[in-house]
Amino acid sequence: MKPKDIPNLISFMRILLVVPVIVFIINQEFLMALVIFIIAGVSDGVDGFLAKHYSWQSRLGSIIDPIADKLLLVCSFVTLSWVGMIPVWLVVAVFVRDFIIVLGAAGYHFRYGKYEMEPSFISKFNTFMQILLVTAILSLKLTAIPFWVIDWMVMVTLLTIVLSGLNYVIVWGRKAYRISHNSNAHD
């Protein structure tokens, strides 16, 4: 193993951490789930820092890192919904948004070619809200967070899911339109 492989190794370890988070949530051992969820979150920051600071970015890392992040969040949402701590409709909203983004990215790729997906501010804020919501819910047994705060966080998370999904559709729709319009103008 070379030092430049460390960020990818950390991302793979983050994927492995998904299983204990799920198991601890199902067993309602929220403190352990929270600790592992936080470790996974910190590992995301560490692998990103190492990749950027030491120029250890790789094509594999650009694929595996967001997959590890998405897997941790989606599995946490699904499991928290399973145990009745997150509304099912919020999980559905997450899946619909992600499905639209993946479908749009695949369509763009096959129609127009390679692209670089840069997350927008609203998309980053959406990820932050999802992480914050999972953290707050896992902390419920440890803190005195009022339920209205959780309800507010659920609604803000839903709003950011919708807005970030719309943002991707608009931005990539415009790019596709420009490419299509420019290629038709040259015909």
Q: Which of 28-42, 77-91, 110-124 has the lowest mean pLDDT?
A: 110-124
Domains of the chain: total: 2
Domain's final residue, options 19, 41, 72: 72
pTM above 0.75, yes or no: yes
Percent of the chain with pLDDT over 70: 97
d(CA 140, CA 150) in angstroms, rounded, equals: 9
179 and 93 share a domain?
yes
Domain's final residue, options 26, 50, 72: 72
For residue 154, give its domain range: 86-187
The model's pLDDT over 111-132, given as tens digits with 9 standing for 90+, comes to 888 777 678 899 989 999 999 9
Is 70 exceeded by the pLDDT of residue 184? no
Residue 185: pLDDT band (50, 70, 90) is low
